[in-house]
Amino acid sequence: MSTTLFDNRKSVIHRLNPVTKLIALLAIIVIVFAIPLWWVAGIIIVVIVVPAAVISGSGGRLLKLSLRILLPILLVLFIVQGLTFPGGTTVIWQWGIIDITSEGLLFALGVGSRIVVLVLASMLLVLTTHPGDLMSALSERGMSPKFAYIISSTLQLIPAFRVRADSILLAQQARGLSLKGSPFRRIKIMLPLLSPLVLGMFTDVEERSTAMEARAFGSTAKRTALIPVPDSTVQNVSRWVLIVLALAAVATPIVLGLL
């Protein structure tokens, strides 16, 4: 089983320099959080995220993975904010002591839309960027190999947890563990598996630390990439444009007196 969510394809999005995609992600996050309007997040999803997902060919996988993350979060968000939003006066539905206000739902829509953008854009980066390419691209631009490794390794965190959890579960089933029964029984069975999972991840951290030391990650000497990551002038200009747009989004609420 792969230890990364990278979806190996030959699309234009996949061929973009990883730094370009990383800066695009950061710019999108800054824009949607600097301008807290749900329709801004909606425009970004429709105009940028969805077309990029379709072009990359990873749209189906992106939708499947994102729904697993977003559905529980959005459901809880709308229920809690719709029922308990302080200062909500416009009741749109009432049942006994339960009141759902439009103010609460609008607040939940604003927060939820930003969370959707954050998850979709982040997952798209993970699906279209190989961690090794990202690490090489960051190192080529002078970033410390240690920080580049930290950023790159976060793309592999969830898949690594999944692989180790599956291995532990299969090992326990080989020893006679039965997963049949009620959901409560299965939860009770799963809890003891958390200990070897967590301890195993600590072991992985120690092994990776040793590997980093063996590769002289602490060295200050300039490194050369075995396989340089392609880049272009257009992408370089685009990165600066994205940075300017992000700064403009931060300045807009201040200039308009919205803060």
For every one of its 259 residues, what pLDDT tens digit does the chain have, with 9 covering 90 and above? 455 778 888 899 999 999 999 999 999 999 999 998 899 999 999 999 999 999 999 999 999 989 988 998 898 888 887 777 776 677 777 676 667 777 878 888 899 999 999 999 999 998 999 888 888 888 788 777 667 767 766 666 666 666 677 777 777 777 777 667 666 766 666 666 777 777 776 676 666 667 666 666 666 666 666 667 888 999 999 999 999 999 999 998 887 766 5
Report pLDDT for 156: 63
CA distance 91 to 89: 6
Q: Which of 95, 99, 75, 76 is nearest to 87 (CA)?
A: 99
**Structure confidence at residue 8 (pLDDT):** 86
Beta-carbon-side half-sphere exposure of residue 38 (alpha carbons within 13 Å)? 9
Compute the distance between CA of residue 206 and CA of residue 164 in angstroms, rounded to an integer.
16
Contact 55, 74 (CB under 8 A): no
